[in-house]
Structure 1
């Protein structure tokens, strides 16, 4: 297993329980990948080192899997945004709409108000992020809550982004401010690193940190599951796939800095996209001081941590070339967010890891070829 994050841990554990000996390598000095959490020694706050991760899923099997290793505490993600000198609730809901327009509308009134006075009905089939937003929420809500934030997050104008990025209309005509709508939501009581450590706790699993994968030694193993960057596996010989990365400006505060876990900043002239206050991600704990991150998004350089795959036309063309190259590689399966160049939530990552491991076992039993990808990156 190349990578000691969720993909490597879940596949490794599943195969270890089936009788295989597992070696996991990771270039970092800790397990958990970008889900890594650790205690801040000065404040005692459990910090999401690479940015916050909130577990939410409708997949009962995945929920049963993670809760079989550690206890999860209830957690509801309630996001706020500062825009135009006010604080609003996200996703855009009935309270946001009434506050923004200075009204006291009921759900039916608000729905009609948006459809009849705000939405751009001249847009039939939205092609871009901007058109998608204008068609459903109109220019005022778009300019305030989506445009500036999106420009900072993606580094380009929303008119250059595909409509698919705004997959579901983030607009609610009730007062529900739960950011997610999944049945199962929560946080591992002692953090994600504790969860992954429990998954890796098996006598047939050996973990080697501060260790770079050497492709020339892949033949020493029956099979390689690679969760690093797909283009990195091939030493970027066809070029680098595009990502956005994040910079964190960490600061501490004596007390409660912002009163919530996540405060977005929708105005384009504020350089950061949001501030996260990490003690609020564990509301069952009590801490006097606080650890906060200001979050900045920018283009990913060669030495940066890749976060969000861009997946626009140019990147998809290069991705197709790398997929062809990967399919010529023997005894290797590419997994996870980086290995398949797709943005994956944690629950999807775990589900695909479980399916990948089972697919491997089935292929061995039935003497079939082992897939290069559990799910095609294309």
Structure 2
């Protein structure tokens, strides 16, 4: 079959590779001048630092199948994300752990003591937290909430934590030991030569053609037997019902001769500091040595129509609009929506790859059994 894949990021590349290996002819297009989407990496010409052009992407997973898959196409070297935060004029360890608690309160508590201490700080009158703020107050109390969560969250999401669901904070752990590895997953690392090289290797197959600087036009789908769409869901329908809400990121790039901050990620929790964090890119490749450094100050804001969408908002209004677009998609023929933008969900890279692998398998099985192909292998709602 002739397969059109719109988007040369992780979803498009993995699905194309799986289908090309099954004998299909895959045409991958992307409106940008490079492959790899938002995980695109490239070396800075002046410093030699491997830059995460659209912000840092750290690979972590418990899915051994996905880990084995990416290691087919790239050599992954160990990397653990150890985030720091500057709050109220001091530097602390994140996620909130025993060191953070002892630093912040000037104590020397042991794990059981710290657990009891934080429980005393917590607002136990909140029995069923509904908002981000209620969740934080219930589990860490007002001091830690004000220092590490409130200001950062206001900057990141552009609204009060009282307007955000409690589920957002459930992803942020509090640890009563000294483990400051940001992720729990057993497989963590970075591709030695960057994500773009990895995705180039995935796309390197005689059954795949890649066309860059090539925006989608409907005639392309008419020339294909099936389309996989990893662009914005609402964009497929030319935004006829309105735009789904996203947060986007602005990066203020600067260079430094030496080591600017001594870590890859430094958060800024105070509301009066306009940026959410500074990333220093050479620390994402700790096996390399560079005298110079490239850093990004990161600012979050509401996405405008021409901006790169990063984080789906998925608040009440967006979910209502999403449901309408899902109905349109389900009524469409010969198209499957995939990935972060195509399903309007926040997805880590490992989940994106797993869903792409599962989607390709589903497609092959549907073809062989002559079953209709769904618009969504993973429903957005």
Give the TM bin, normalised by the shorter chain: over 0.9
Aligned to 2:309: 306
Match of 2:22 in 1: 18
Q: Distance in 1 between matches of 2:373 and 2:324?
A: 20
Runs of 4+ more than 6 Å apart: none
The alpha-carbon deviation at position 43 of structure 1 amounts to 0.3
Q: Is the 8 A contact 1:83 1:267 kept in 2?
A: yes
* Conserved? CA contact 1:149–1:266, under 8 Å: yes
Is 1:6 the counterpart of 2:13? The answer is no
- 1:47 counterpart = 2:48: no
Deviation per residue, 1:38-92 (Å, 9 max, x gap): 0000000000000000000000000000001110000010000000000000000
Q: Does residue 358 of structure 1 match 2:361?
A: yes
Compute the displacement of 1:170 (Å). 1.8
What CA deviation, in whole Å up to 9, does each residue of 1:327-361 have, x standing for no partner? Answer: 11100000000000000000000000000000000
| Partner in structure 1 of residue 338 of structure 2 | 335
Q: In 1, Cα distance between the equivalents of 2:278 and 2:103? A: 22
Find 1:111's aligned residue among 107, 115, 127.
Answer: 115
Identify the match of residue 185 of structure 2 among 182, 186, 190. 182
**2:260 is paired with a residue of what secondary structure?**
coil
Instruction: Give the CA RMSD over aligned residues.
Output: 0.6
Deviation by residue 1:149-203 (Cα, 9 ceiling, x = unmatched) = 0000000000000111112452000000000000000000000000000000001
User: Per the alignment, in what secondary structure is the counterpart of residue 298 of structure 2?
Assistant: strand
> Do the aligned partners of 2:336 and 2:374 also contact (CA within 8 Å) in 1?
yes
CA distances 1:280-339 after superposition (whole Å, capped 9, x unpaired): 000000000000000000000011000000000000000000000001110000000000
Q: Residue in 2 aligned with 1:201?
A: 204
2:105 aligned with 1:101, yes or no? yes
Tell me if the contact between 1:16 and 1:204 (Cα under 8 Å) persists in the aligned partners: yes
Query: TM-score, with normalisation over the residues of structure 1?
Result: 0.99
Q: 3-state DSSP class of the match of 1:375?
A: coil
Structure 1 alignment gaps of length 5 or more: none
Whole-angstrom CA distance in 1 between matches of 2:183 and 2:379: 26
Partner Cα separation in structure 2 for residue 13 and residue 214 of structure 1: 23
Equivalence for 2:74: 70
Checking the alignment, whether the CA contact within 8 Å between 1:136 and 1:169 is kept in structure 2 is no
TM-score (norm: length of structure 2): 0.98
Query: Equivalent of 1:253, from 228, 253, 256?
Result: 256
Distance 2:140 2:378 in 1: 34
Q: Is the 8 A contact 1:243 1:300 kept in 2?
A: yes
Name the CA distance, whole Å, in 2 between partners of 1:20 and 1:162. Answer: 43
SS at match of 1:365: helix
Determine which of 91, 95, 98 is the counterpart of 1:91.
Answer: 95
Matched, 1:286 2:289: yes
Task: Give the conservation status (yes or no) of the 8 Å contact 2:95–2:172.
Answer: no
* Structure 2: runs of 5 or more not aligned: none
User: How many equivalent pairs are there?
Assistant: 377
Q: CA deviation at 1:217?
A: 3.0
Q: Please give the alpha-carbon distance, in whole angstroms, between the structure 2 residues aligned to 1:278 and 1:166.
A: 27
Work out whether 1:367 is the aligned partner of 2:370.
Answer: yes
Residue by residue, what CA displacement relative to the aligned partner does 1:4-54 show, whole Å, maximum 9, x if unpaired? Answer: 000000000000000000000000000000000000000000000000000
Q: Is the 8 A contact 2:18 2:360 kept in 1?
A: yes
Match of 1:27 among 25, 28, 31: 31
Is the CA contact (8 Å cut-off) linking 1:260 and 1:277 kept in structure 2? yes
2:218 aligns to what? 215
Aligned equivalent of 1:120: 123
TM superposition shift of 1:216: 3.2
